[in-house]
Amino acid sequence: MTHSRDGVPAVEVNGLRKTYPGGVEAVKGIDFVVAPGEVFGLLGPNGAGKSTTIGMLTTTVIPSGGSARLAGFDVAEQPLLARGVSSVVFQDAVVDSSLTGRENLELHARLWGIAAADGRARIDDVSDALGVSELLERPVGSFSGGQRRRLEIARALVSRPRVLFLDEPTVGLDPRIRHELLDVVANLRGREQTTIVLTTHYLDEAERLCDRVAIIRLGEIVAMDSPRALLAGLGNEILELRVSGEAEHAIAELRERGVGGEDAFAIGARLTIPLHGCAPSEALSVLEEARIRVSEIATRTPTLDDVYLNRTGERLAAVA
C-alpha cells in the first residue's frame, strides 16, 4: 500500500455509535480499519446508517459512543486535525455556480492556505485527474450534473487529503454519466495516494471500486471483506426457482440430500440455492423426487446482493 507514512491506519473505527435525539439508533457500535491507499465501501440500503457514519468521521455528527480516528487523529477530541487530513464530497453540491470551475478550485486552495504557485500546479493536476481541465474557465452553473460532480471531487482533492470521503458519489446521475464517473474514481487510485471511503447503495459500484466493503444494515456491519471474498463464499453459481408448495420444506429436502447447504434460503415461494459445485440438475431431481413442482428456473453468478440477502434475509437491491 502507498502513503503508509508511519504505519497508522488511514481510518480506525472502534465501537462507534450514534443515537439521535428521539432515540433512533442509527449506528450501533461498528468497528473497522482502513489501510492507507485502500478504497473502502460502506454498502447498505437507505437508512442503514451510512451517512451518519460519514458524518461522524467528518466531524459533522457527534458520536454517542466509541471512537474514530483519521490518520491517528480522534474525530471527537481533535476535530480540527482530523478535518485537516481529510476531505468530503457530500451528495449536495458545495461549489458556487456563479464562479468558474477554476475560481472554485482557487477559492478552496486559498481556504486551505495553499501557496498560490503550489495551488496552481495542484489545480492543474487534479483537474486533469478528474477530466475537468477543459471546463475550468466556464461558470459552474453551465456544467452538467456529471461535470459538476467531477469538479466537486477535484475540489476535495486540492488539499491533498489523506482520506477522501465520497457520500453516494453517483446518486442522481444518469447511467452513462454514472459509469463515466466510476471510471474517473477508479483511475484516481493510480494517480493520487488518497485513501477513499465511499458510501453507496449500488452493488456494482462497490464491486467495481472497492478493495473491501462493509455491508451495513440497521446500523450494524453484517459482513466485511473484499467483494471477491464475499462472493466466493457463495460459490460460482446460484440456482433460483419458484416452488408451488412450502418453500421451507423444499429447502429441507435439498439439505437432506446434500444439495444446497446452510446458505440456501427462501423468500416467499422463491428459492435461492448457492450450488457450490453441484449441477443444477441434481437440485431439480431432488425436488422432483420430493414431488415439489418448480417453475421460473434460472442460474446466475452470485452478486453482493446475494451476500446481503444471505446475511439479512432481505434484498439490498429492492430496498435501495
Residue of 1, 5, 20, 142 that binds ligand ADP (CB under 6 A): 20
169 interacts with ligand ADP by CB under 6 A: no
All residues at 6 or more sequence positions from 215 whose CB lies less than 8 Å from its CB, including other chains: 43, 44, 221, 222, 223, 224, 230, 304, 307, 308, 311, 316
Q: Which is nearer to ligand ADP, 46 or 281 (CB)?
A: 46
**Is position 97 an interface residue for ligand ADP (rule: CB under 6 A)?**
no
Q: If binding is defined by CB under 6 A, does position 49 make contact with ligand ADP?
A: yes
Does residue 10 contact residue 4 with C-beta atoms inside 8 Å?
A: no
Q: Find the angle CA(186)-CA(170)-CA(45) to the nearest 5 degrees.
A: 110
- Mode of pairing for the β-strands spanning 65-70 and 73-74: antiparallel
Nearer to ligand ADP, 48 or 223 (CB): 48
How many CA atoms lie within 13 Å of 275's alpha carbon, on the beta-carbon side?
Answer: 19
CB of 272 to ligand ADP, least distance (A): 24
Q: Are strands 11-19 and 65-70 parallel, antiparallel or unpaired?
A: antiparallel
How many residues sit in the footprint of ligand ADP (CB under 6 A)? 12
- CB contact set of 318 (below 8 Å; sequence gap of 6+): none
Question: Residue 14, SS3?
Answer: strand
Q: Does 312 bind ligand ADP (CB under 6 A)?
A: no
Compute the least distance from the CB of residue 93 to ligand ADP, in Å: 18
| Residue 316 in the binding site for ligand ADP (CB under 6 A) | no
Q: Does 161 bind ligand ADP (CB under 6 A)?
A: no
Nearer to ligand ADP, 14 or 64 (CB): 64
Q: Is 48 an interacting residue with respect to ligand ADP (CB under 6 A)?
A: yes
Residue showing cell 455491508: 215
Min dist. Cβ of residue 184 to ligand ADP (A): 23
Residue 50, interface with ligand ADP (CB under 6 A)?
A: yes
- Choose between 104 and 199: whose C-beta lies nearer to ligand ADP: 199
Q: Count of CB atoms within 10 A of residue 219's CB?
A: 23
Considering the complex, what minimum distance in angstroms separates the CB of residue 166 from ligand ADP? 13
The H or E element containing residue 203 is helix 203-209
Contact with ligand ADP (CB under 6 A) among 44, 63, 101, 227: 44
Round to whole Å and give the CA distance between 140 and 130: 15
Which residue in the block uniquely carries the three cell numbers 459552474? 140
User: Which CB, 16 or 135, lies closer to ligand ADP?
Assistant: 16
- Strand partners for 239: 273, 299
The minimum distance between CB 32 and ligand ADP, in angstroms, equals: 15
Is residue 26 part of the contact set for ligand ADP (CB under 6 A)?
yes
24 lies in the site for ligand ADP, by CB under 6 A: yes
Q: How far is the CB of 25 from ligand ADP (least distance, A)?
A: 8
In 3-state terms, what secondary structure has residue 139? strand
C-alpha cell at 185: 474514481
- Which residues lie near ligand ADP (CB under 6 A)? 20, 22, 24, 26, 44, 46-52
